[in-house]
Amino acid sequence: MSNFFNYLWLILIAIYIISPVDLVPWHIFDDLIAAGVMFYLLYKNARGKKQYQQFYSGSRNQSQGSHKASHEAGGPLTLDRACTLLGVTPSASWDEISKAYRDKISKSHPDKVSHLSIELQEKAQELTLRLNEALDLLKRHKGRR
């Protein structure tokens, strides 16, 4: 629904810029302000679509396989599954593990995807929980606190 309102505002602003009616006598300034608002809305909409696509393709391609395997098997998260989820090898250093965790969590943290649909927010929350679980397992395995 918010996309509908974004497009509606964009259309109304475009009509205002094109129309000869102005709210202030200095007709160029209000048109410039309206154009700035229009470009901001376009930028915000494009950024939201890009984040939506990155999140959806990233969470689906990278972690869905390990998520299905983990839950279908019914067992706890293993070291191999945790490494696969984070995209590291079992012999990876702690710096590599923490960097991979930060990269993954920065894309799927629920605060980062609060503007997306409820379904994607729920997927982000699930992915964040699985990433935290994988990091905890690797911490225990590597002897980190």
Q: What is the DSSP string of 1-51?
A: -HHHHHHHHHHHHHHHHHSS--SSS-HHHHHHHHHHHHHHHHHHHHHHHHH
| Helices 79-86 and 94-108: angle between axes, nearest 10 degrees | 60
How many Cβ atoms from other residues are within 10 Å of residue 67's Cβ?
18
Give 14-73 pLDDT, tens digit per residue: 888 787 777 776 667 777 888 888 888 778 777 766 666 666 665 444 444 444 444 434
- CA 93/CA 14 separation, integer angstroms: 54
Q: Which segment of 9-13, 44-48, 70-74, 140-144 scores lowest on mean pLDDT? A: 70-74
| pLDDT at 144 (0 to 100) | 65
Give 77-131 pLDDT, tens digit per residue: 788 888 888 889 888 888 898 999 999 888 887 777 878 888 888 888 888 888 8
User: Domain-by-domain residue ranges, the chain?
Assistant: 2-142
- CA 32/CA 30 separation, integer angstroms: 5
Question: What pTM does this model have?
Answer: 0.48
